[in-house]
Amino acid sequence: MKKFSLFTSRQGHTTKNTWVCIVCLILMAVLVGCASGPGKNEEIEIERTTFSFDQDKAPYDVFPEYRIKPGDMLDVLFQIHTWKERDSFRIGVDNTVAVKFVNNPELNEEQLVRPDGTISLPYVGIVKVVGKTVNELATELRKKYAKILQDPELYVTVPEFRAAIKELKTDLHTAPRGLSRLVTVRPDGYVTFPLVGDMYAAFKTIPELSEELNAKYEKILPDLHCDLFLQKHSGSFIYVIGEVKSPGIYRIEKPISVVAAIARAGSYTSEAKRNSVFVIRRHAKKMVATRLDLEETLSLTRESRFFFLQPDDIIYVPRTWLGTASEVARKIADVLLFNGWGIGIGFSYELHTEPTVNKYRR
């Protein structure tokens, strides 16, 4: 009996230790579970992402850059920098040149430089004047008239040297903000500027177009400078197609997530394949498609990632799993042609899958 009693006591002690171990393991499992997933009142920071070739343009709260589109209205503000000091003044085609003779005033001439850069003077005929300084022209004319006159005394002046700028001021007399002109980018991407004519503006940034335009004005009128402003933009749009309740074209004023875009389109239909949603963006000469798992996104775990959109992105919510880029391209082409939009057709496609997406069909 004593032996049995001793055995029983040890067994009870062993059983007690076993239960303590089990309880500890359960507590550890609960703690690990709490650490791996969001608990009550716990804040979870969700990563924001976009295409790999756009990652360096974060943050995603603003568009990385604005590129001019057909339909945009630009305000061209002209400035005449007459206060700038130049190393030398050279005669141009819009200048008036006066040649004065001290002892022979009957030979005096004042002429507007012709488009070919010449003027005509008595006895010596046609003289090339464009590109020369006043002193260089005076020295040349003294040599020419030395063959005709004894000790010719003459001097050259330029009484009017901004005729083209005066014409520009007259042309812009209706502008309410001074020397400015409102111009609209045509559907072909071109815009017409005063004196310069047509320039291709589509898909350029405002600074890029401004630099190119000022380079042209510098060749025409060195004192003329212009500043470009975006007076009115035609808008930024995204396209939501496929298994959503209200597919269509939606205007956006700032970057939004794929979830927000689908919400604008009335959310998913019951047939939507939410773990295989595609975002298509034009990059160089290709349309790059990325597959997203929005079931993972909406689970709001630490692995969730909100994918942000840019203007002209296409969000396609399919009904079935699409495994290749050609399948994605064909399905999108069918939807776009059916709706009469016809965007992105004719481009080659690349397909990428987010790491969190199960690559096997579900």
Q: Is residue 78 part of a domain?
A: yes
Report which DSSP code applies to 246.
Answer: S
The structure tokens 């004047």 sit at 129
- 205 with 247, same domain? no
d(CA 126, CA 114): 11
- 199 with 347, same domain? no
Q: Are 68 and 185 in contact (CB under 8 A)?
A: yes
Element (H, E) at 214: helix 206-220
Q: Which of 160, 179, 199 is the last residue of a domain?
A: 160
Residues forming a β-bridge with 314: 239, 280
Q: Is residue 39 part of a domain?
A: no
As a whole number, the mean pLDDT across the chain is: 77
The CA distances from residue 334 to 139, 247, 311, 317, 344, in Å, are: 76, 14, 22, 13, 12
The total number of structural domains in the chain stands at 3
Q: Are 193 and 183 in contact (CB under 8 A)?
A: yes
d(CA 154, CA 164): 28
- 133 with 203, same domain? no
Q: Which of 184, 202, 232 is the last residue of a domain?
A: 232
d(CA 24, CA 184): 74
- 193 with 300, same domain? no
- 226 with 323, same domain? no
Could you read off the pLDDT of 322-335 as tens digits, one per residue?
777 777 777 777 66
d(CA 120, CA 92): 15
User: Above 60 in pLDDT, residue 18?
Assistant: no
User: How many Cα neighbours within 13 Å face the side chain of 282?
Assistant: 12
- Which CATH number characterizes residue 209's domain? 3.30.1950.10
- 213 with 331, same domain? no
Q: Which residue has the higher pLDDT, 239 or 286?
A: 239
How confident is residue 15, by pLDDT bands cut at 50, 70 and 90? low
Q: Is residue 281 part of a domain?
A: yes
d(CA 68, CA 202): 5
Q: Are 332 and 314 in contact (CB under 8 A)?
A: yes
Name which of 315, 313, 322 is nearest 357 in CA terms: 322
- 142 with 171, same domain? no
CB atoms within 10 A of CB 332: 25
- 206 with 335, same domain? no
How confident is residue 345, by pLDDT bands cut at 50, 70 and 90? very low
Q: Is residue 210 part of a domain?
A: yes
d(CA 93, CA 167): 14
Q: Which of 214, 232, 250 is the last residue of a domain?
A: 232
User: Above 70 in pLDDT, residue 313?
Assistant: yes
Q: Is residue 343 part of a domain?
A: yes
The phi, psi pair for 199, rounded to 5°, reads: -135, 145
User: Above 80 in pLDDT, residue 51?
Assistant: no
d(CA 191, CA 70): 9
- 180 with 224, same domain? yes
- 78 with 221, same domain? yes
Q: Is residue 253 part of a domain?
A: yes
* Percent of the chain whose predicted confidence (pLDDT) is above 90: 30
Q: Is residue 316 part of a domain?
A: yes
The token duo for 177 is: 């903000």
d(CA 227, CA 213): 9
d(CA 171, CA 187): 25
- 77 with 220, same domain? yes
Structure confidence at residue 138 (pLDDT): 93
The CA distances from residue 267 to 92, 243, 262, 274, in Å, are: 65, 9, 5, 11
Give residue 302's identity as a one-letter amino acid code: R
Q: Which residue has the higher pLDDT, 357 or 144?
A: 144
Q: Is residue 19 part of a domain?
A: no
Structure confidence at residue 5 (pLDDT): 39
- 77 with 200, same domain? yes
Q: Which residue has the higher pLDDT, 147 or 26?
A: 147
Domain around 127: 96-160
Could you read off the pLDDT of 203-261 as tens digits, one per residue?
899 999 999 999 998 877 777 788 999 998 888 889 998 899 999 889 998 889 999 99
- Which CATH number characterizes residue 296's domain? 3.10.560.10
How confident is residue 63, by pLDDT bands cut at 50, 70 and 90? confident
Top-ranked range on mean pLDDT: pick from 27-41, 48-62, 168-182, 278-292: 278-292
Q: Which residue has the higher pLDDT, 178 or 259?
A: 259
User: Above 80 in pLDDT, residue 116?
Assistant: yes
The token duo for 76 is: 């061209």
Q: Which residue has the higher pLDDT, 79 or 34?
A: 79
Beta strands per DSSP E along the chain: 47-49, 73-80, 96-101, 109-112, 118-121, 125-128, 154-160, 180-184, 190-193, 197-200, 224-232, 236-242, 248-252, 277-283, 286-292, 305-307, 314-317, 348-353
Q: Kindly report the CA angle at 156 between 152 and 159, in degrees rounded to 5? A: 150
Long-range pairs of 53-61 with CB within 8 A, sequence gap ≥ 24: 53/283, 53/288, 54/281, 54/310, 60/255, 60/308, 61/254, 61/255
